[in-house]
């Protein structure tokens, strides 16, 4: 990417002070975050892996928190059918308080799938994920790694807004996840980026903290889609000091995507 443009995106992320040390952002990244991801073929030729090495940290693997597709309840539906089923969904009580469902948006041939938690007030009103302030920051985060919003697919764990933006209830997430699983089956993304603790924990069926889930490649579902975890843009708006760590995660995810 054009370095001037890139600097502008990093500035929008509030990261301009981090890149002025004369190093390129890639060169400045901690080594373990840019370690090459080994292919399965390369692994069979290599010596037994050192589980604590940076290469192992970056390798897609079963981290013990990957999930299988739950029930494949929505299997077989195409995009239009799935969208209609979501729009008509009454599987949980959120259907009583939503303005509309928020199915997801983006290119059906996207390599990247970004998964957030649930629609907020703006998304509930407009019917599109990540359109509020957090969405603006998400767009900047994507731009910083050379991705336009239109190039990726964006969806949430929940398709309906929880009142008052409370956390999704376990039952709401389990009722809703089959929709996302079918979106993933249709999209066949090269990489998934889970933004925030709630999305990450639901996708990986774990209660490990975000700090424990970052900086490694998880595998989602039967198709073992590489999944990387980072901070939610709404959290980053409240805690700008962690934008630098999010930037590390984004570069890590880009590196993983380039190698799968
Ligand atoms: N936060 C999310 O997790 N998803 C959205 O769509 C908007 C805000």
What tokens were used for 143?
């731009």
Top mutation candidate among 103, 156, 162 for ligand 1, by most atoms within 8 Å of CB: 156
Distance 167 CA to ligand 1 centre (A): 11
| SS3 letters across the chain | CCHHHHHHHHHHCCCHHHCCCCCCHHHHCCHHHCCCCCCHHHHHHCCCCCCCCHHHHHCCCCCCCCCCCCCCCCCCCCHHHHHHHHHCCCCCHHHHCCCCCCCCEECCCCCEEEEECCCCHHHHHHCCCCCCHHHHHHHHHHHHCCCCHHHCEEEECCCCCCHHHCCCCHHHHHHHHHHHHHHHHHHCCCEEEEECHHHHHHHHCCCCCHHHHCCCCEEECCCCEEEEEECCHHHHHHCHHHHHHHHHHHHHHHHHHHHC
> Looking at residue 70, what is its pLDDT?
54
Exposed / middle / buried, residue 27 (Cβ in 10 Å: 0-12, 13-18, 19+) = exposed
pLDDT, residue 45, reads: 32
Other CB atoms within 10 A of residue 37 CB: 20
Nearest CA to ligand 1 atom 6: 129
- The segments of the chain whose pLDDT lies below 50 read 17-57, 64, 66, 68
**In Å, what is the CA distance from 118 to each residue of 49, 69, 100, 160?**
38, 20, 13, 7
Pocket test of ligand 1: the residue of 104, 130, 136 to mutate, having most ligand atoms within 8 Å of its CB, is 130
Binding-site residues, ligand 1, Cβ < 6 A: 116-120, 123, 129-130, 134, 156, 234
For residue 196, give the ligand 1 atom closest to its CA: 3
**pLDDT at position 15:** 65
The CA distance from 64 to 89, in Å, is 32
Which ligand 1 atom lies nearest to the CA of residue 232? Answer: 3
What pTM was computed for the model?
A: 0.80
């Amino acid at each position: 990417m054009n370095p001037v443009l890139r600097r502008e995106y990093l500035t929008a992320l509030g990261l301009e002070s981090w890149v002025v040390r004369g190093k390129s952002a890639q060169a400045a990244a901690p080594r373990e975050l840019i370690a090459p991801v080994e292919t399965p073929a390369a692994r069979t030729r290599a010596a037994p892996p050192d589980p604590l090495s940076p290469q192992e940290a970056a390798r897609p693997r079963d981290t013990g928190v990957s999930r299988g597709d739950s029930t494949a309840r929505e299997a077989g539906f195409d995009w239009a059918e799935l969208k209609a089923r979501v729009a008509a969904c009454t599987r949980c009580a959120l259907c009583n308080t939503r303005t509309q469902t928020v199915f997801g948006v983006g290119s059906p041939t996207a390599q990247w799938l970004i998964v957030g938690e649930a629609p907020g007030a703006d998304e509930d009103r407009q019917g599109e994920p990540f359109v509020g302030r957090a969405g603006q920051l998400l767009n900047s985060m994507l731009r910083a790694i050379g991705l336009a919003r239109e190039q990726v697919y964006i969806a949430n764990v929940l398709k309906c807004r929880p009142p008052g933006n409370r956390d999704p209830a376990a039952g709401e997430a389990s009722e809703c996840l089959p929709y996302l699983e079918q979106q993933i089956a249709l999209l066949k993304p090269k990489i998934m980026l889970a933004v925030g603790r709630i999305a990450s924990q639901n996708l990986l069926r774990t209660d490990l903290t975000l700090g424990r889930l970052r900086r490694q490649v998880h595998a989602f579902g039967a198709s073992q889609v590489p999944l990387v975890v980072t901070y939610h843009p709404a959290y980053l708006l409240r805690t700008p000091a962690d934008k630098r760590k999010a930037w590390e995660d984004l570069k890590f995810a880009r590196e993983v995507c380039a190698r799968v």
